[in-house]
Chain A
């Protein structure tokens, strides 16, 4: 059993690398299409889809319906467009180089 577990057991979850790519979700949050690699956890992808849909709904409740939302984090940009109640979501990882193209002066 120990050997089988070692051979066929699920591998330890590794540090998740954020991919660039996109996916579409329907109005219930079900993923329809995705260009994200399979290494990216489905739970993360689903959570992104759900939060995006929740924000579109929240905006509608505020009488301010939105067709596009862009969310900027330090290390990730998310862009979502509303699609008939669902959404298409783009993931764009950011790096420090993109934030500050000017090189820092090295101390002597």
Chain B
């Protein structure tokens, strides 16, 4: 990527393109090179041939609308920053755009103040290289975010989302006082949350009535957690269940997955668990199944079908599929590099299935 940042601006209104090319190219401090495209297909073709830091796209365009372009761009160019700039004031489109993974959703500025905020925000986006980390604060790890909040003596709640799982870290006057995620609270929850490598977070107002359950200083807490993560990574556990012969045997590096399966199998109401890897051999880890092959096929087909449907409808990430039958209740979801399927007895309530599955996804994501 060259030193001068590059922006691709997509809109079907030529006057708008001309105006914003000048605004962004001449008034942003980083003086980016701004290219323009007046159709989705043209934009994608330019993205194929050149590297960009940022794509700013309108939504309402003929032939190929903005959601279609963003879907393709997010998949093909995962490090490209995406911004929607539209005149559509509609909560549904905002939700769908964020579901597709855009970084920011802007209504076309109508005042100088709004234009100023937009320009500042674009400068902030293009002045940072894309990195793994938590969206919400660019290029920061969760440890960085906690340290920042604690150093500034903040009182707030950090709400962290990793796929379907929501967690909260409670900070009071610069100290971490509690943490929670489905099925866990206090330090164990804090350790689990810090093991997440990606996610998104929001800062919520503090809850002064929250009871303190963590009494270590935040420095000690972070140190203990780092040690616990290191120790967990080095633990050797017995090999997982055998495969049915059609799949590649589970390799040694999947010991961690086997340990999680063992833990999940102890959860109330869980009848069976199956994790199917996305690798070529579709490595399987399972518990509670004599023959995992049919369930594995169901998991694969269901997630593939609904993923492709989601892409067609532009409704964002497929989060989970819950099924109810006379013999089982079943929950299926993509979780990192694996697809998970968990079976429950039919008598268990759907709420219990949802809560347990969230808990399982959270363990798996950690």
Contacts and interface: CB of A to CB of B under 8 A. Distances in A.
Interface of A: 12-18, 44, 47-48, 51, 54-55, 58-59, 61-76, 93-97, 99-100, 102-105
A98 B100 CA distance: 17
A76 B316 CA distance: 8
A94 B95 contact: yes
B264 interface: no
B99 interface: yes
Interface of B: 59-60, 62-63, 65-67, 88, 90-96, 98-100, 156, 159, 164, 202-205, 294-295, 297-298, 301-302, 305-306, 308-310, 312-328, 330, 343
A15 B67 contact: yes
Contact of B96 (A51, A62, A75, A102): A75
A15 B87 CA distance: 12
A15 B305 contact: no
Greatest chain B CB density within 10 A among A51, A97, A105 is at A51
B326 A67 contact: yes
27 contacts: A13-B63, A15-B67, A17-B92, A48-B313, A55-B306, A58-B297, A58-B301, A59-B298, A59-B325, A61-B294, A61-B298, A64-B327, A69-B321, A69-B324, A70-B321, A71-B321, A72-B322, A73-B310, A73-B316, A73-B317, A75-B316, A76-B316, A96-B98, A100-B202, A102-B204, A105-B156, A105-B204
A30 to B, nearest CB: 18
A14 B204 CA distance: 37
Contacts of B319: 72-74
Nearest to B157: A102
A75 B315 contact: yes
A72 B320 CA distance: 5
Given A47-B312, A55-B301, A65-B325, A12 B62 contact: yes
Greatest chain A CB density within 10 A among B204, B297, B308, B323 is at B323
